[in-house]
Amino acid sequence: MKIAALQMVSSPRVADNLDHARAWIAQAAQAGAELIALPEYFCLMGHRDTDKLAIAEPLADAAITDATRTPIQHMLATAAQTHGVWLIGGTIPIASDDPHKVYNTVLAYNPQGQRVARYDKIHLFKFDDGVRRYDESVCLRPGLEPVAFTLTDRNGEAWRIGLSVCYDLRFPELFRALGAAEPLDLIVLPAAFTDTTGKAHWELLLRARAVENLCHVMAPAQGGQHENGRATFGHAMVIDPWGAVLALHAIGEGMAIADILHSRQAHIRQQLPALDHRVIR
């Protein structure tokens, strides 16, 4: 299956970001991608953390809905349907029952434009090095449950997909939980890693999650200098179960596109059946 991890440099303008996302989805689909994933906050990188509250949407129906009420979700659903692809919509702000906090939510759509999964980011980022300060808990509500779903590709092969977001990458127990009932075939991790933490840990942790779970990893990213002054690390990647980087887009808008193979994963798991050797669960 060919997959595409998209990279954006999103702005404070939702309409512009949706236009860019549509264009990259179309380009990835034209290149043959069956599964396409957008980065975290693809729809908005605001001037203030609270800007996301103003564009928060209620969770729409699973089918394609009214563009005037939920324009971001409408774009995702219609793009998936238009191009006949599986689409993972990075993250968007979904309203909670607290007007001062939203969920940072991943939505996944099938080629018919129907929503098949929702994951709310569990681990909320906090960082302070004396110069840069971030605290997502100020306006985000954490999710509570790991989420995985099954995708059937055009060849009829089933892929177990585990959903995660950015800072989740630092918590390997989440990925163990995702694969507890059924081993994962692919981890998808939309991100907006800071330039500082990305340089130190991004590739290291992505490859570690691939190796320890013996599965593929797909990591769409924000990558560049944003209008709000923030610099994100980028380096959207696709990684195989042995930890090899199959595709990489370093900086600026673009995509990392690669073929992933069940046969490659099965061969590695046969050679090194580490998942069967686990003692502590």
Cα–Cα distance, 211 to 244 (Å, whole number): 9
DSSP string across 169-193: GG-HHHHHHHTSSS--SEEE--B--
Known catalytic residues are 40, 121, 166
- Return the percentage of the chain with pLDDT > 90, whole number: 91
The mean per-residue pLDDT over the stretch 50-67 comes to 87
Q: What is the pLDDT of residue 68?
A: 82
The mean per-residue pLDDT over the stretch 7-20 comes to 98
Per-residue pLDDT tens digits for 77-106: 999 999 999 999 999 999 999 999 999 999
Q: What is the pLDDT of residue 62?
A: 76
Question: Domain count of the chain?
Answer: 1
Q: What is the pLDDT of residue 128?
A: 82
Residue 192 has pLDDT above 80, yes or no: yes
Q: What pTM was estimated for this model as a whole?
A: 0.97
Q: What is the pLDDT of residue 31?
A: 98
The model's confidence at residue 268, banded by pLDDT at 50, 70 and 90, is very high
DSSP string across 72-125: HHHHHHHHHHHHT-EEE---EEEE-SSTT-EEEEEEEE-TTS-EEEEEE--SPP
- How many residues does this entry show for the chain? 281
Cα–Cα distance, 190 to 187 (Å, whole number): 10
Could you tell me if 190 and 91 are in contact, meaning their C-beta atoms sit under 8 angstroms apart?
Answer: yes
Per-residue pLDDT tens digits for 15-52: 999 999 999 999 999 999 999 999 999 999 999 989 99
Residue 259 has pLDDT above 90, yes or no: yes
The mean per-residue pLDDT over the stretch 243-251 comes to 98
CATH code (residue 100): 3.60.110.10
The mean per-residue pLDDT over the stretch 272-280 comes to 93
- Domain range for 248: 2-277
Q: What is the pLDDT of residue 1?
A: 98
For residue 163, how many C-alpha atoms fall within 13 Å in the half-sphere facing its CB? 31
The mean per-residue pLDDT over the stretch 204-225 comes to 98
Per-residue pLDDT tens digits for 98-133: 999 999 999 999 999 999 999 999 999 988 887 777
DSSP state of 98: S
Cα–Cα distance, 168 to 256 (Å, whole number): 21
Q: Look at the block and give the residue holding tokens 């434009």.
A: 113
DSSP E strands, 192-249: 216-219, 221-225, 231-233, 236-239, 245-249
Instruction: Determine if residue 243 is left, alpha or beta; phi over 0 gives left, psi from -120 to 50 gives alpha, anything else beta.
Output: left
In DSSP terms, 159 is beta-bridged to: 151
Q: What is the pLDDT of residue 65?
A: 67
